[in-house]
A and B are shown apart, each in its own frame.
Chain A
Amino acid sequence: GRRPSFHVVEKDTRSVIPECFSHVPMAKRIPTAHAHKDVHPAVLAVGQQMAAFTLKDSIARLQATLLAFKKVLEAYETPKGNSLSRHFVPHVLNPQIEYLTECRPMCFSMGNAIRILKAKVNSFDIDTPEEEAKEGLLEMIDLFIKERINLAEFVIARNAAKTIEDGAAILTYGRHRLVEKTLLRAKRDGKVFSVSVIDDPYDNGGQEMAKSLSRAGIPVFYSPNLGGLRAEVQRATNVLLGVEAIFANGSLYGAAGTADVAVAAKTASKRVIALCETINFDRERVSVDALTYNEIDPEQNSAEHFRLLFDTTRDYYLNGVITEFESGTGNSPAQAI
């Protein structure tokens, strides 16, 4: 189990958090020696990468988690007198999940995927042979990655690219995989348009995207921070936002600053479209305030600094959401799934 020193470390890193934000969780690096002995090495590695934010966005974390779970399954042998459907989840899978959650709060897509995975395990009969159950689960994970991640990304990029008209000036914030794929796809489809990237100087992902778009031959304007927001919104014809997740009430959960961009765009009557895979939709959680669900940036957590990683964008700042299943207003896909 855990050692006492573990708690001392935890107290230290959280003690500088201002009281009004003290309820917000924060990722933390757990020395591998302190991890539970039952945690599989593959999961251990994924947890470390999530705590260090080398695995950062929701889909990257989901995919890495699922692949690690495949390793856990492959190594799994049901103890004598037990069945996989009764033993695997409480004694093997749950300790992995607990560890990952300790490294960094679980994202919605991981929660959704784990729920689906557990339902699949429960669907096996108590006397289903172990090999058959394992095969079934491994196949399910492969299909899940193929459909909900790879195919979803392809379909969203294709559908979103169709909405880009010749002469459009697209504004986007930071770097989001779906937005980048969409813009590159639109360029390949022969669309003529320009892109304005507003970056978050605490992240600088936008700079990489600006360069990647620029290399593809798309005219790019790059603003290093939100200081350029007003001018860039005026120049833009529409706004594409890639988001981390969507709440049951249609609010977006996006990188901190996303809401500021959406508010500015809506005020200037520009069309605001969010891109998101349905696996990132949450059917139960509702958020109208960025402090209901959020995470503290561990890199900026000191006596001198405080930073939240996400913000909440209310659905009335949005004109639509594009998912792999349908396009509609902020609310409709949430109701659809």
Chain B
Amino acid sequence: MAPSRTGHAPTMEKLVKSLKGQLLEASIDSYIHLLKRRQVTGDDCAEATAHILRQVVAKSKWSDVDQLLNAVQSVGSRLVQAAPQEPVIGNIVRRVMGLIRDEASEERNADETMSESISELPALAPPTTAVHPARPQPTPFRPPPLSSVTSFHVSRSKSMFNLLSVADTMHSPQTGASTPMSQAQPTSMNSLRSEVLDGIEEIMDEISQADDQIASFAEIQINPTDNVLAYLPSRTVERFLIKAAAKRKYTVFLVSLDPPNTHSGEVPFAALRKKLNSYGVKTIILASNGLMAYMSRVNKVVIGAKVVYQNGGLLVESGASVAAQAAHALSRQVIALGGVYKFCPEDPSDNIAGEKGASSTYVSYSDGLKVDALEVENTVVDYVPPELVDVYLTNLGPQTRHHLATIMADHYKPEDVGFSLHPGELY
């Protein structure tokens, strides 16, 4: 079922091309349309969102930092509302907002450095509370919005992740920073614009490179003679398995809960199997609803995360929790794969499985039973609680649950965590 899910969705290249060719408002609308029709899903949402926000920064009219933040936030909120089932969209919006704040405060800091001759690393400065008493700020930031999600860790430590972070401000050259912001000089805004656009490019690079970087850890995680169970492997998981196959002789169990569509004659996981088999890695397709039956033969379960929540829980394909739970029951390790851009500084919603897919494909009412007599619960996403996950393998390497707060703090500003809850109210 799953491998054909994106069958008629536009390819990423086509999508980006079509979005670029339109006026800003038109391209936002057409992206929202695609999101609502679920024609852009999963990993593609992250990339497409970065593209759209890049255009917002490049094309929309703004003359100071707050207007820019406002523009990004308002477009971001619309995207999030169009596809609440894809929290990765919100992550990218937060990343871009944080990037704008960093660039803006860097310009101010650079200005202060000039006048006070204090050499200070911008990344060590508190991100947005750089309100200098000697200089009245043109538009002081309001305190961060209080929302249900402000349990987010505020500490912004300088760590390895910080240094590695692509969007980190330290690598950005400090150009045109000597112009005081209070006058909102066009040159300063132009340099801010180009800095932010560069930063978004770097986020886009991070997204496109994440799968390869995660795959580079495959030979550490996968050992010879391992029996690895991959539940509905995502692009990330496929690349990981193939990379491991180049180095290791192991066996892959491929699973989906639903029987393959026999009418289409489609062979499940055909492309992936062909690649794995070409390396001499055996594949076994489990045509099964339950997974406990096979788990004694499996020693690792690999799950592609759609999102990693701040508590360490995963948003996953429907049924993936069955694999994780079976692995846990028999003490098999569960490895969750996902780039850092999938780390979401929110708690999982109480009703993740509340989203329902089409039910008529599952139940035939030809026998005269009234259609509303049965309530059909066909879930399309699933949740894996943190206690079932042993390793989070990201583009920055393997992490444990205890590292997640640091990663979140390194990539998001606390004031942007609840950006979509109060659209238009921030400034």
The answer to whether A226 and B289 have CB atoms under 8 Å apart is: yes
Give me the interface of B with A, judged by CB distance under 8 Å: 227, 257-260, 267-268, 282, 284-297, 318-319, 321-322, 325-326, 329, 351, 353-354, 359, 362-364, 367, 369, 373-380, 382-383
The answer to whether A224 and B267 have CB atoms under 8 Å apart is: no
The answer to whether B322 and A260 have CB atoms under 8 Å apart is: yes
The answer to whether A256 and B284 have CB atoms under 8 Å apart is: no
Please name the residue on chain A nearest to B292 by beta carbon: A259
The interface residues of chain B lying within 8 Å CB-to-CB of A215 are 369, 373
Task: Please name 30 pairs of A and B residues whose Cβ atoms are closer than 8 Å in the assembled complex, sorted by A.
Answer: A20-B297, A202-B289, A210-B374, A220-B374, A223-B376, A223-B379, A224-B258, A224-B376, A225-B289, A226-B289, A227-B318, A227-B378, A230-B383, A231-B354, A231-B377, A256-B289, A257-B289, A260-B289, A260-B325, A260-B326, A263-B292, A290-B292, A290-B293, A300-B287, A304-B267, A306-B285, A306-B286, A307-B286, A311-B293, A312-B292
Bound complex: CA of A21 vs CA of B285, how far in Å?
13
A138 to chain B, nearest CB (A): 39
The answer to whether B290 and A257 have CB atoms under 8 Å apart is: yes
A124 to chain B, nearest CB (A): 43
Please name the residue on chain B nearest to A291 by beta carbon: B296
Please name the residue on chain B nearest to A17 by beta carbon: B284
Main secondary structure, interface of A, reads mixed
Give me the interface of A with B, judged by CB distance under 8 Å: 18, 20-21, 196, 200-202, 207, 210-211, 214-215, 219-232, 255-261, 263-264, 267, 289-291, 294, 297, 300, 304-308, 310-313
The interface residues of chain A lying within 8 Å CB-to-CB of B284 are 18, 306
Known pairs A223-B376, A230-B321, A304-B268; list 10 more (Cβ under 8 Å): A214-B374, A222-B363, A222-B374, A224-B378, A226-B289, A259-B293, A260-B289, A261-B290, A305-B285, A307-B288
Known: A214-B369, A226-B322. A289 touches B374 (CB 8 A): no
The answer to whether A260 and B290 have CB atoms under 8 Å apart is: yes
Bound complex: CA of A221 vs CA of B353, how far in Å?
14
Considering residues A229, A255, A289, which has the most beta carbons from chain B within 10 angstroms of its beta carbon? A229
The answer to whether A259 and B287 have CB atoms under 8 Å apart is: no
The interface residues of chain B lying within 8 Å CB-to-CB of A264 are 322, 325
The answer to whether B363 and A230 have CB atoms under 8 Å apart is: no
Please name the residue on chain A nearest to B269 by beta carbon: A304
Bound complex: CA of A219 vs CA of B377, how far in Å?
13
The interface residues of chain A lying within 8 Å CB-to-CB of B375 are 219-222
Bound complex: CA of A98 vs CA of B378, how far in Å?
44
The answer to whether B294 and A290 have CB atoms under 8 Å apart is: yes
The answer to whether A290 and B296 have CB atoms under 8 Å apart is: yes
B380 to chain A, nearest CB (A): 8
Bound complex: CA of A255 vs CA of B374, how far in Å?
23
Please name the residue on chain A nearest to B384 by beta carbon: A230
The answer to whether A228 and B353 have CB atoms under 8 Å apart is: yes
Bound complex: CA of A220 vs CA of B363, how far in Å?
13
